[in-house]
Amino acid sequence: MKELDLDLQNLMEKKKNKYYLGRDISWLSFNYRVLQEAMDKRVPLFERMKFLAIYSSNLDEFFRVRVSNHRNLVRVGKKTKRKLHFDPEVILKSVLDTVNLQQEKFSKIFAKNIIPELESSNINLLHYSDLDDEQCEFINNYFMDNMLPFVQPVLLVKNKIKPFLNNAALYLTMILRNKGQRRSRNQYAIVKIPSDHLPRFVKIPSNDGKHNLIMLDDVVRFMASWLFPGFIIVDSFSVKLSRDAELYIEDEYSGDLIAKIRKSLTKRNVGPAARFVYDREMPQHLLSFLMETFDLEEYDLLPEGRYHNNSDFFKFPTFGMDNLTNDPLPPLPYGPLEKPKNYFSAIRKKDHLIHVPYHSYESTVRFFEEAAKDPNVTHIKIVQYRVAKRSRIMEALISAVKAGKQVTVFIEVKARFDEAANLKWGERLEKAGAKVHYSFPGLKVHSKLALIIRKEKGRSSLYTYLSTGNFHEDTAKIYSDFGLFTHDQKITKEVARVFSILETEKAPKTEFKHLLVGQFNLRPELEQLINNEIIAAKKGKKAKIILKMNSLQDRKMISLLYKASRAGVKIKMIIRGICCLVPGIKGLSDNIQIISIVDRFLEHARVFIFHNHGKEKIYLSSADWMTRNLSHRIETIFPIYDEAVREQIMDFIQIQLDDNVKARWIDGKYSNEYKKDKPEVTNQSQLETYYYVKRNSK
């Protein structure tokens, strides 16, 4: 075994980059898989437009978080870079080059595929130069009645007039010339496109049965000459500035953390530039002027097409054309926990697994609503990471407090982009009388746990719900996650220990024999599970690992998986997003196969299966195999003991491994080739999963 370790170490050191893919380019490769869905003509037209929106929204967040971090590292200079194991300048260039290519592909998809197909469905997205007299009058009136207070036209003057650009807001920059001067110099102006106040797509009345739309951007273009009387509008180009979204409080261990987060949130929208997006047709003289005016560097720039903020495609009017959307897959009721009068008796009898969004989320909501009104329930405890704006679960907790129950909520206020919402719910819960605990400095709590204590026959009885996803009624409609309801004391008692740690902010001598808990036994237990398979393989026995997660980035775990592959362990993985491991390398990872599935639902569940001499160990989790999850968070991995639930999970995973419609192979070339084995049998795993659940619903 030691010889294998030394051999592997030497191999990895020779060609580090070849065997460990950068997480940023790997993430961009995932986002390209999203773009592939917009290209896939098997996907209905409006759904393909939604994938354009998802791609755009993903990219915005990526630049505000990851790219802004690399830019900050570039700014600090060579001394800091020497301490890193990577060159942020090289990564930044690679990211920008990759995104430029993807943006060109995005523009072609929109112009060559989406627009013609819209037209064939009698939906016309008009340019302002296409308007007839009647439509021009409508646009003029629409502008005056609805847009005038918001457009904020500004004539830019070098070194004198420099307006503040709002984060992610759309602007139209213009090249102007004085009407009365033949040889006047170019002047520049900027106008806000008020898509934060008005619909991005403006419906234009039509008498021919067609659906006519115009982008809000083009309404501003149409009215530009009215906004700048005395000037000729030479040309106009749209721009958008995204700002750094990081709060930079992760490692603070002193002071009032909540106060610091509140203060940081007010600064998020005025932070430094993360990305300046501009129309790639913009002439250099205008771009140079804007760079100087808004203090932009070359690595702040990203060329796109004529329109930005393409996440607005989420709101594209559908005109009731259901034939251009996905066939509905309404969530199926989970009878055992939605029908019984005695809810907790049903959980006491056996474990229950729901698989959203195939199953309805009603069982989970009912877990809290039943507890709130049950006179025998004394305590409710929950970890809140992300939660819906309108949440029946949170309302149930408030009702429980009013009913005299002890409600304890741990709120992770460092959940990125949900900080404000979490603080708001925390305030409401505190006002209602719940005991609210907030984030630990320097550590995120990412576990998805809930515990109910109920008096039964004079004793306290524990019920728990453990999930791979958040307590979020909205995302439960589109995120694919597992949730386990159990009364099994082996698990419930250890969940109670986790809550004890969260409530006391101490780490007593706590042992976990069943749960794998971050900051305690999570990483070493995972390593041992892999090593057990390595030992079996070395003895010539069958050894197998199946892993499903969002991201695989941790170097130690990747090295251990390479070691397992070299020992003969057969490894299959389903990874949605970042994957820094390179499968299929002869002598290193030729026993590893990895697929990624991107389809109508977001794959979000984490499942870990170890062969264990034919007695599979099956775990579900909130944790990806990233260094932050394994070393810097409180995560929970929980075992599945109920035989019926184990069989269901194995069936669900096998359906995904057999996908030959939406699965792509993951490799070291970022090829994203579709997996097309067994072409005579079509298996689109999300559809197959839905009908599997439907067949087995009771």
Q: Which residues are the active-site residues? A: 446
Residues in the chain: 698
Tell me if 666 sits within 8 A of 592, measured CB to CB. no
Question: And the tokens for 475?
Answer: 């995302």
Question: And the tokens for 193?
Answer: 């496109």
3-state SS record for 465-507: EEECCCCCCCHHHCEEEEEEEECCHHHHHHHHHHHHHHHHCCC
CA 665 to chain centre: 21
Nearest residue to 608 via CA among 510, 691, 532: 532
Question: And the tokens for 553?
Answer: 């980035």
Nearest-angstrom CA–CA distance, 18 and 668? 8
Tell me if 246 sits within 8 A of 272, measured CB to CB. no
Q: Which residues pair with 555 in a beta bridge?
A: none
Q: Classify 369 as helix, strand or coil.
A: helix
Tell me if 685 sits within 8 A of 576, measured CB to CB. no
How many Cα atoms within 13 Å fall on the side-chain side of residue 47? 18
528: amino acid identity, one letter: Q
CA distance to 9, 175, 330, 366, 489, per residue, from 344 (Å): 52, 69, 26, 10, 14
Nearest-angstrom CA–CA distance, 271 and 28? 24
Tell me if 571 sits within 8 A of 591, measured CB to CB. yes
Nearest-angstrom CA–CA distance, 500 and 508? 9
Place of tokens 């405890």: 381
Tell me if 17 sits within 8 A of 88, measured CB to CB. no
Would strands 602-603 and 592-597 be described as parallel, antiparallel, or unpaired? Answer: unpaired
CA distance to 88, 296, 553, per residue, from 250 (Å): 20, 27, 20
Phi, psi for residue 331 in degrees, rounded to 5: -55, 140
Tell me if 454 sits within 8 A of 378, measured CB to CB. yes
202: amino acid identity, one letter: V
Q: How many CB atoms lie within 10 A of CB 112?
A: 10
Measured between its terminal Cα atoms, the distance across the chain in Å is 50
Question: And the tokens for 76?
Answer: 């600090």
Q: Classify 381 as helix, strand or coil.
A: strand
Nearest-angstrom CA–CA distance, 280 and 658? 42
Question: And the tokens for 519?
Answer: 């900051």
Please give the full DSSP string across 644-682, using - where no structure is assigned: HHHHHHHHHHHHHHT--SSEEE--TT---PBP--STTS-
Nearest residue to 162 via CA among 50, 268, 35, 294: 294
Evaluated on CA atoms 604, 579, 635, 244, the torsion sign reads negative
